[in-house]
Amino acid sequence: MLSVERLEQTLEARPFQYLETTASTNDVAMRWLLDGAPVGSIVTANEQVQGRGRLGRTWYAPPGTALMLSYVLRPAVDDLPYVGMAGAVAVLETIQALGMSGVGLKWPNDVQIDGRKVCGILPEATWQDGTLLGVVLGIGINVRIDFAGTAFAHTAISLEQRVPSLDRAELLAQLAERLDAWTARLSADELFERWRAGLVMLGRPVSITTVTGTITGTAEAVERQGALVVRDAHGVLQRVIAGDIALG
Ligand code: BTN
């Protein structure tokens, strides 16, 4: 059960807001950021009714079935490319610490268990007159969503399919500690190396849908700032910054 009382126990002194229902925790966190929220503040909710996903998609989970949070940070502009990586690595490690195997990353920042999506990540930045004011790092983890009979039955998974009766407040506290640690070291080579080591598709045939079309080939490498390098059917290296990747 997620509640203010339980979160006060697990998050201790960390500033947080808990909402039974909200449109999007990223929106609430963004307003709080602009209002002076300390770095590391967290907004979490039991239900989101206008949750956002990557590439303009919506992200929805029935009430009480997911861990949805937005984490406030104020990185240097040069470190922006690493915010999503920090989120992905923090979630990866938190899930591995539950004793689960088969946990990996699907470029850029989805977390998977045995090839099925368990977590999505959405960093959103805010600027004023060319100055970066901050970022909210939105994270949605499937904890006990029942995907049976849905379009996601074979592509998504919930943590409780592997480990029963998880305490979302405890999970949030574990994740928050890892977010603190990695967001304090955004430009560290170690973060990039952990992220790269977690990626499941390097060396494999892939198909990537981008705004300008589809690229098929072999995922050869990732660049330091996160771009994916794909060798296409003509042997030409293509650099992809954003898109949806699938096994080719
Ligand atoms: C994706 O997989 O496309 C990213 C999903 C991100 C969902 C989280 S839930 C908490 C935060 N608030 C939002 O509106 N979105 C993110």
Tell me the CA–centroid distance for residue 16 and ligand 1, in Å.
Answer: 18
Nearest to 84 by CA among 140, 137, 42: 137
Atom number, ligand 1, closest to the C-alpha of residue 66: 9
**Which residue owns the Cα nearest ligand 1 atom 16?**
138
pLDDT band at residue 1 using 50, 70 and 90 as cut-offs: confident
Report the chain's mean pLDDT, rounded to a whole number.
96
Nearest to 172 by CA among 50, 25, 27: 25
Q: Which of the listed residues 122, 135, 142 should we mutate to test ligand 1's pocket, taking the one with most ligand atoms within 8 A of CB?
A: 122
Q: What is the pLDDT of residue 115?
A: 96
Average pLDDT in the 198-213 region? 94
> What's residue 200's pLDDT?
96
pLDDT at 185 over 80: yes
Pairing of strands 110-113, 103-106: antiparallel
Tell me the per-residue pLDDT of 15-41, one tens digit each, with 9 for 90 and over. Answer: 999 999 999 999 999 999 999 999 999
Q: Binning pLDDT at 50, 70 and 90, where does residue 49 land?
A: very high
Q: Quick check: 172 pLDDT over 80? A: yes
Rg (CA), the chain: 18
Whether pLDDT at 12 is above 80: yes
pLDDT at 103 over 80: yes
Question: Over 80: is that where the pLDDT of 206 sits?
Answer: yes
- The reported pLDDT for the residue numbered 127 is 98
Using one digit for the tens of pLDDT, what is the confidence trace for 113-164?
999 999 999 999 999 999 999 999 999 999 999 999 999 999 999 999 999 9
- Counting beta carbons within 10 angstroms of the beta carbon of residue 159, is it exposed (0 to 12), middle (13 to 18) or buried (19 or more)? buried
Tokens of 34: 């602009």
pLDDT of amino acid 247: 81
Nearest-atom index, ligand 1, CA of 24: 14
Give the residue carrying structure tokens 């805010």: 126
